[in-house]
Amino acid sequence: MEGWAGPAGVVAAPMAGGPSRPELAHAAGRAGGLGFLAGGLKSPAALEGELDVLDAMGAAAYGVNLFVPSTAEVDRAAVLAYRERLAGEARAVGAALPEPRWDDDDAYPAKLALLTERAPAAVSFTFGLPAADAVAALRRAGTLVLQTVTGPDEARAAAELGADAVVVQHPDAGGHSGAFLDLPAWEGTLADLVAAVRAAVVLPIVAAGGIGTPEDAAAARAAGAEAVQLGTAFLRTPEAGTNPVHRAALASDEFERTAPTRAFSGKWARGLENGFMRRFPDAPAAYPVIHHLTAPLRAASVAAGDPSRTNLWAGTAWRAARDEPAAETVARFAG
């Protein structure tokens, strides 16, 4: 287990939707960190293609992240009512609103099978717990299994499941919350959260969420984290596949704050607060149904260079993110 997050103890977070392309995972790994591919809502063929690219680059160790599908019932009437309310938004960017897709990632079993066969150095899960036999199969294949948790109860559940380590995600984190038990969200600092999880389980901890400075990373390590995981800090690096509208928004002084929203995907996620988020503070809890519903209008907004109707995921420390090679980001946060 020693040094599994690289000698730097810095994990370049899995970031679905484009940022975590093989170039970023490779650069983070080469710089002494651990890079990740994002397998959430990706087809097995697309994920396999990224694994092939990363292997062809000669990447030694890297991780892959998966979203665990939800079994929760979706309120279909609420989704259809939300779809009606989005009509004007779609019209404004010349996009069509698709019919709702009610499934939650039918391809998850195929991706699990692929990863068990390819056995990357690490696989992390978020949004819920995988089945115990999936964890056991990955571990038998030599893969380290990490579980994203947002509080001590979730950490205990991960330990019972047989995970090798936990990614402890604070609500300041950019992107979706991985919360599945610990609601409402943790109210103290990331260091407090790490200490609380440290007291609950004996597993190694990767601390994530709102880390903007080396001092933030040091505080998380001092509280008991073996490594830190950063997402937002890598979004402006040239190796990240962050779309140009998102990249420009992170650098602009147009945005005043980040906020949690369900408006884009139907699951709480933190992003730079824009007009779409302000107009739909009460979107229903229906992930990934809302994600698919808003996908064409988000894509049209990006194509038009307009940051007002697309998700701009960012953690609270977004202003500290730099346009610098990913290797420099790894070096700045090395422990």
Ligand X SMILES: Cc1cc2nc3c(=O)[nH]c(=O)nc-3n(C[C@H](O)[C@H](O)[C@H](O)COP(=O)(O)O)c2cc1C
Summarize as ranges the residues that interact with ligand X (CB under 6 A).
13-17, 19, 38, 40, 65, 126, 148, 169, 172-175, 178, 208-211, 229-233, 313, 315, 317
Q: How far is the CB of 84 from ligand X (least distance, A)?
A: 29
Q: How far is the CB of 173 from ligand X (least distance, A)?
A: 3
Q: How far is the CB of 291 from ligand X (least distance, A)?
A: 12
Q: How far is the CB of 44 from ligand X (least distance, A)?
A: 16
- In the bound state with ligand X, the residue whose beta carbon lies nearer, of 59 and 168, is 168
- In the bound state with ligand X, the residue whose beta carbon lies nearer, of 15 and 225, is 15
Whole-number Cα distances in Å, 47 to 62, 110, 139, 186, 308: 14, 10, 20, 33, 30
- In the bound state with ligand X, the residue whose beta carbon lies nearer, of 229 and 294, is 229
Across the beta sheet with 175-176, the strand order is 175-176, 269-272, 258-261
Strands 227-230 and 175-176, by their bridges, are unpaired
Q: How far is the CB of 94 from ligand X (least distance, A)?
A: 25
Q: How far is the CB of 235 from ligand X (least distance, A)?
A: 6
Q: How far is the CB of 288 from ligand X (least distance, A)?
A: 12
- In the bound state with ligand X, the residue whose beta carbon lies nearer, of 16 and 144, is 16
Q: Is 163:145 a contact under the CB 8 Å cutoff? A: yes
- For 1-6, which contacts have Cβ atoms below 8 Å and span 24 or more sequence positions? 1/144, 1/164, 1/165, 1/204, 4/34, 4/61, 4/121, 4/122, 4/144, 4/165, 5/33, 5/34, 5/206, 5/226, 5/227, 6/31, 6/32, 6/33, 6/34, 6/61, 6/330
- In the bound state with ligand X, the residue whose beta carbon lies nearer, of 40 and 204, is 40
Q: How far is the CB of 294 from ligand X (least distance, A)?
A: 15
Question: CB 228: neighbour CB atoms within 10 A?
Answer: 31
Across the beta sheet with 144-149, the strand order is 10-12, 227-230, 205-208, 165-169, 144-149, 122-126, 62-67, 35-38
- In the bound state with ligand X, the residue whose beta carbon lies nearer, of 86 and 250, is 250
Residues 205, 290: Cα–Cα separation, whole Å: 32
Question: What values do phi and psi take at 266, rounded to 5?
Answer: 85, 5
Q: At what angle do helices 190-200 and 152-161 cross, to 10 degrees?
A: 40
- In the bound state with ligand X, the residue whose beta carbon lies nearer, of 83 and 313, is 313
Q: Helix and strand tally (H, E) in the chain? A: 13, 11
- In the bound state with ligand X, the residue whose beta carbon lies nearer, of 175 and 307, is 175
Question: Where are the alpha helices (H) located in 126-182, listed in sequence order?
Answer: 132-140, 152-161
Q: How far is the CB of 76 from ligand X (least distance, A)?
A: 26
- In the bound state with ligand X, the residue whose beta carbon lies nearer, of 125 and 280, is 125
For the chain, helix, strand, coil in percent to 5 are: 40, 15, 45
